[in-house]
Amino acid sequence: MNLLFCLENIVRLVVFFMKIAIIDGQGGGIGKRLIEKIRKATPDSLEIIALGTNSIATFGMMKAGASKGATGENSIVVQANKVDVIMGPIAILIANSIMGEITPQIAYAIGNSEALKILIPVNKCRTKIPGIQNKTMNQLLDDAIEELLIYYNTNNPEKN
């Protein structure tokens, strides 16, 4: 059998796999909605890791279809460097936001992660983001999913 033929078949068997961390706090509402939309829009080759600042947020995201989940500062800090994409409200980059649930260590770890960050621009936590006032939360989440799909399709060797 031709070695090149064997190698081509092995390469076809390798499945492109992307890890996405969804980070949220409080009740996990934004994270839950993101996961539901991701599951509808993307293939099974995405591993979604729900990272909640508290157990209620993690539980809500797990119910929405996350592959696995973890709770707390250390889990978020450790996982920030083990994923390809981080998604969540923009507040995850702001220390002491989400009523104090985002610690300086969490904000630092996310900000310094090599992962692509796709953040939902929410005008809360005394942070204003010009240009989003006319968009609904659903539209903002759809925009985030569109960015994820562009990144996925650009980095998927099966599509290039």
The answer to whether residue 3 is domain-embedded is no
Which pLDDT band, with edges at 50, 70 and 90, does 112 fall under? very high
The answer to whether residue 12 is domain-embedded is no
Give the per-residue pLDDT at 12. 44
Lowest mean pLDDT segment, chosen from 4-8, 34-38, 145-149: 4-8
The answer to whether residue 42 is domain-embedded is yes
Give the per-residue pLDDT at 53. 96
| Selection from 51, 21, 34 nearest residue 120 by Cα | 34
Q: Which structural domain range is residue 151 located in?
A: 17-155
The answer to whether residue 74 is domain-embedded is yes
What confidence tens digit (pLDDT) does each residue in 17-71 have?
A: 899 999 999 999 999 999 999 999 986 778 999 999 999 999 999 999 999 999 9
The answer to whether residue 36 is domain-embedded is yes
Contacts of 41 by beta carbon, 8 Å cutoff, 6+ apart: 145, 148, 149
The answer to whether residue 50 is domain-embedded is yes
Number of domains in the chain: 1
The answer to whether residue 30 is domain-embedded is yes
Give the per-residue pLDDT at 24. 95
Concatenated DSSP letters for 119-149? EE----TT---TT-TT--HHHHHHHHHHHHH
% the chain with pLDDT above 90: 69
CATH number at residue 80: 3.40.50
Contacts of 34 by beta carbon, 8 Å cutoff, 6+ apart: 22, 87, 88, 120, 141, 144, 145
Lowest mean pLDDT segment, chosen from 10-24, 38-52, 94-108, 145-159: 10-24
Q: Considering only residues 10 and 84, tell me which one the structure prediction assigns the higher pLDDT.
A: 84
The answer to whether residue 60 is domain-embedded is yes
pLDDT at 152 over 60: yes
What DSSP character marks residue 65?
T
What DSSP character marks residue 14?
P
Sole residue written with tokens 């390798």: 14
Give the per-residue pLDDT at 13. 42
